[in-house]
Structure 1
Amino acid sequence: MATPYEFAKSIIDLPNILLEFSDDPKTQMDLIFPLCNYQVSIVPTSAPLGQSENNLIKATSAICRRAALTGLCKAIANWQADSWDEVLDVRAKVSKLFNNEILIATDDKNMQTVNALRTLRAKVLECLMNAAGSVPHLRTVTRTATLPALQLAQQLYADGNRASELIKRVKPVHPAFMPTEIEVLSS
């Protein structure tokens, strides 16, 4: 049987193990985001043993979520966004996760954790806003007819080499038939 320290350490190590599955920070973020929302259901009870069990369950889920948040922060630190809109989307998700966790820690009257989470949230959101300043916005382009990706890249960017970027973003049925309405980078 594991000691409480070994149990907590194994929970804390899980996000780091997930980070090792991929070198791509976007993939790492996709793996860790669900862990940040980990919730448990507590059955209310007035029995002392049941209350202790509920406290243990709540504490374990808090460790899981907070460890996942730290892993998410590590992935974000290495992430290069494709567009300004993508940064804002991630920023909104991360802000919501931190706000929820801060509320949970506040309800538990754990002010040291609240202050640590607030500090970490501020740093991560600042990092994301710095990243947003250097990437282009998305814009919607509408054409009257389908065009090949190569021709569309040449028209939009005066660079046919960016056809692969369009194909990756749009995921058309075939690169020779790009949809008539697509979202592309502004520059």
Structure 2
Amino acid sequence: MSTLSQLAAAAQALADALRGLSPDPADSIRLLAPLAALQPVEATAADGVGLAQASGEAAAAGLCRRAALAALARAAAEASPPSYDAAVALRDQVCGLLAAEEVVAADAGEDATALALRDLRAAVLEDLTRRAADLARLRRVTVAEPLPALVHAYRLYEDLDRAEEVSLQADAEDPNFIGGTFSTRGT
């Protein structure tokens, strides 16, 4: 096994380990997104050694980004966004990272990699768009004075059983005092 293949395996193992740290795909996505956007530091020296170092760092960063993007796409496929808005935000985040790396690959003349990234982006786009269509949209709710979650649940949904949902969506410290502006799923 060569050093380069060991580095590639290590980058993939790192991405898989980050993805496996949490049983919640949303947490995995939060952990993988910074690695998928990793950019090497500018070269410190303009001589041959500095340029070679910069080239190596750029290649290693690209390897890490692409491994993270593959794991990120798998995590997005496993994710269960709670609303249409969350699904669209996830789709836009993952597709944006994939598109950025697609440009990097194309600029470097790595056509096969750019095409693979484009195909992966299209699959993520189609999957999350399809799943988003079946989810409720969020709406903004503004209340003048704090009220209990039970009151909000009845006013919004005519369903007292959704009080805990309202409290979670409002990110309330105390479910008896929910006021201001918050987002909640449509009816």
Counterpart residue number, 1:63: 63
Match of 1:144 in 2: 144
Opposite residue 102 of structure 1, the aligned amino acid is: E
Relative to structure 1, the CA distance from residue 49 to residue 143 in structure 2 (aligned partners, 3 Å threshold; closer, same or farther) is closer
Match of 1:98 in 2: 98
Structure with the bigger percentage of strand: 2
TM-score normalised to structure 2 length: 0.92
Using the TM superposition, name which of 38-47 and 129-138 deviates more: 38-47
Instruction: Give the TM-score, by structure 1 length.
Output: 0.92
Partner of 2:75: 75
Deviations 1:130-156 (A, max 9, x none): 111011111112233221001211221
What does 1:1-187 correspond to in 2, within 5 Å?
3-43=3-43, 47-187=47-187
Q: Percent identity?
A: 32
What is the DSSP-based 3-state SS (H/G/I as helix, E as strand, rest coil) of the residue aligned with 2:178?
coil
> What's the RMSD between the two structures over aligned residues?
1.7
- Off by >6 Å, runs of 4+ in structure 1: none
* Letter of the 1:179 counterpart: G
Cα distance in 1 for partners of 2:147, 2:133 equals: 31
Q: Give structure 1 stretches of 5+ with no counterpart.
A: none
Secondary structure of the structure 1 residue equivalent to 2:183: strand
TM superposition shift of 1:54: 2.4
Q: In structure 2, how many angstroms separate the alpha carbons of the residues matched to 1:114 and 1:6?
A: 23
Count of residue pairs the alignment pairs up: 186
Structure 1 counterpart of 2:161, which letter?
A: N
Point out where structure 2 has 5 or more consecutive residues left out of the alignment: none
- Give the distance between the partners of 2:134 and 2:18, measured in 1 at CA: 28
For the residue of structure 2 that corresponds to 1:184, the secondary structure is: strand
